[in-house]
Amino acid sequence: MKKISLILLFLFFVAPFSAAEDVVALEFDDNYKQHTLNITRYEDEQPQDVESELPEEAAIVVPSTDNISTPMTLQSGVFAGIKNAAEGIYKLPTDNLNSVTPLLSEQMTKHYESGPFESTHLWGVVQNTFDNMIPEGGNSYSKYDVNLINIFLDTKTRDGKDLYRIMVSPTHSHSRSFMQNLFQDLYYETKRVPHHSILVGNSRVGIGIEGTQSAFTLPLLNRSQISRNFSNVRKRGLRIRGDYKYVDYDFGGYSSDTFFTEFLPGMEFNGWVNFKPLANTNEKYGKISVGNGISAGKRDSIGYFVYGAGLQYDYKKFRAKVEYAIADGSNGATGLSNKRREGWDVLASYRLTKKLELLARYDEFNPDKSKHSHNRREYTAGINYYLKGQSLKLMLNYIFCQNEFRKNSHRILLGFQLAL
């Protein structure tokens, strides 16, 4: 009797704790099933009947605290995103220097499942420069400058034939107000006509090879003198570009206004034609582009006319370019002018490796042909290091500025470009 009493007393104290452990095990197991369901949906992107896949003994197994899945799922998602972005950046090509592929191109693109638009891409480019100028017989000075901050919003239609672009530049300008400088590219472009691109809106226009080239793909940090005086400016209008095997062209009619200062102070025509005589040789002897064109118009009471010509030759790792321009008045990036001006430049570059490039340029310009001995000459040597093509690069330029009407000077420019 005494033994039976002891046994009953033992069961009375032990049974509640055993039942409590069973409850804890079942509750934890329910959470475990739910978390496993969440993980399966994240990885497979489709709901699964998780309970049918679990082994029978899973209901009585108490998982350790190391397997708490909610924070691990979040961490796995973040780490996977970082890993995918890093792998995408690592695999970006480094040998294409004619365009910019943002480092986070896919991560910053929104794709639509239905509707007329296929995607919207938000991206931007930053270019910084450290400038050290040493005038002969004077005091040197150094400055750090943000050359440009350009932010793009590109929306493409589902068939890829239409593009809507908004590009803003919050970079400070001393000669213009913030709002006048803010909107740069602002246009609609369609490629529904074979071999053609038709653009309506505000875009970079002008004449010359380098004058209309994107700032992101320039070989040197500074444009040539004829480019920065006669071109490198955006205007509003209608633009038609054609691209055929042996010839391409760019024609447009625009308002002669620049940077949204006036609505319609006059009209302007810009036209440029390139001939490609080696287009049928499959680049066996390289590529040659021979072009010429004009920019003519009237702004308020001042008329202007600019003629330009250029030749560019590419052969494997070597590239050479020569340009010439003469103007009787102009309406470029440096403003409206009625002066007769003339200039030319020659540039050569060679890529030692896919990432390392050496460059040299001779650049001569006469800002006022009515004055004697008024030439300005720039001798430039440069090194470009393309970590990831034009999307991530370092630039070093040395410039000797020789002037016939003021003191000579030396400049060292160190630049960095990043596209995201």
- pLDDT per position as a tens digit, 289-300: 999 999 999 999
pLDDT of 55 above 50: no
pTM: 0.78
Number of structural domains (the chain) is: 2
Let me know whether 69 and 16 are in one domain: yes
% of the chain beyond a pLDDT of 70: 82
Let me know whether 251 and 325 are in one domain: yes
Let me know whether 51 and 17 are in one domain: yes
Range 125-153 average pLDDT: 90
Let me know whether 43 and 113 are in one domain: no
Range 62-81 average pLDDT: 58
What is the CATH number for 116?
2.40.160.10
Range 316-337 average pLDDT: 95
Q: Is residue 130 part of a domain?
A: no
What pLDDT band is residue 76 in, cutting at 50, 70 and 90?
A: low
pLDDT of 269 above 90: yes
Let me know whether 115 and 84 are in one domain: no
Q: Is residue 136 part of a domain?
A: no
pLDDT of 48 above 60: no
> What is residue 52's predicted lDDT score, i.e. its pLDDT?
42
Q: Is residue 139 part of a domain?
A: no
Let me know whether 189 and 227 are in one domain: yes
pLDDT of 283 above 80: yes
Let me know whether 206 and 309 are in one domain: yes
Let me know whether 205 and 296 are in one domain: yes
What pLDDT band is residue 132 in, cutting at 50, 70 and 90?
A: very high
Q: Is residue 140 part of a domain?
A: no
Let me know whether 231 and 157 are in one domain: yes
Q: Is residue 159 part of a domain?
A: yes
Range of the structural domain that residue 207 is part of: 109-120+148-374
> What is residue 74's predicted lDDT score, i.e. its pLDDT?
58
Let me know whether 292 and 338 are in one domain: yes
Range 316-342 average pLDDT: 95
Nearest to 169 by CA among 186, 153, 184, 187: 184
Let me know whether 294 and 155 are in one domain: yes
Let me know whether 308 and 169 are in one domain: yes
